[in-house]
A = this chain, B = another copy of it.
Amino acid sequence: MLLSKSCVYGLRASIYLASKSDEEFNSIKEMSDKLEISFHFLTKILQQLTAESLMESYKGPKGGIRLTKKGREATLLDMVIAIDGPELFTQCALGLPGCGSATPCPLHESWIETRASIQGMLERTTLSELAREGKQNKFRLMADGSFNWD
């Protein structure tokens, strides 16, 4: 798989939160239920994103989590790098440390292009814009397509 499961969970949660009000803290439990992701597992992933100031959380009753301004203006690429790390966008396709334009591996040239395509897909829009598109097109965010964008 291109992205780890943790990463995919983080992206789906990011898009979920982007579809919500900027000010309100959203219950993680409610989100994990709606997205059908293990609650405790999801909290750990979200903590990686709050560590990067892409999200902020609040404890106690009425507590929850929301995107920061930085997070709303960030792209999925920022989320991916925060969770899976930058390796996908820096490493050789064959994992050869010395690979570069000087002494490339057989895939090097194509991989530069393909990698740019992956990167482009992830940084095409900000999360705010993605949420707008999502509401408009009612994009799928769950296996069974039951997510409600309103």
- Point out residues on A near B: beta carbons under 8 Å: 1-3, 5, 8, 11-12, 15, 76, 87-88, 91, 93-99, 103-108, 110-111, 113-114, 117-118, 120-121, 124, 130, 133-134, 137-145
Instruction: Give A108 to B140 CA distance when docked, in angstroms.
Output: 9
Q: Which of chain B's residues has its CB closest to A5's CB?
A: B95
Known: A1-B87, A105-B139, A121-B107. A11 touches B94 (CB 8 A): yes
Instruction: Give A108 to B141 CA distance when docked, in angstroms.
Output: 11
Contact of A140 among B88, B103, B145 (CB under 8 A): B103
Q: Provide the residues of chain B in CB contact with A106, threshold 8 Å.
A: 15, 130, 133-134, 139, 141
Q: What is the interface of chain A mostly: helix, strand, loop, or mixed?
A: loop
When the two chains form their complex, are residues A110 and B120 in contact, meaning their CB atoms are under 8 A apart?
yes
Q: Provide the residues of chain B in CB contact with A134, threshold 8 Å.
A: 106
When the two chains form their complex, are residues A141 and B105 in contact, meaning their CB atoms are under 8 A apart?
yes
Chain A to chain B: the 10 pairs with minimum beta-carbon distance, closest first: A110-B121, A117-B117, A105-B140, A114-B117, A106-B139, A114-B121, A103-B140, A97-B143, A103-B145, A8-B94
When the two chains form their complex, are residues A139 and B104 in contact, meaning their CB atoms are under 8 A apart?
yes
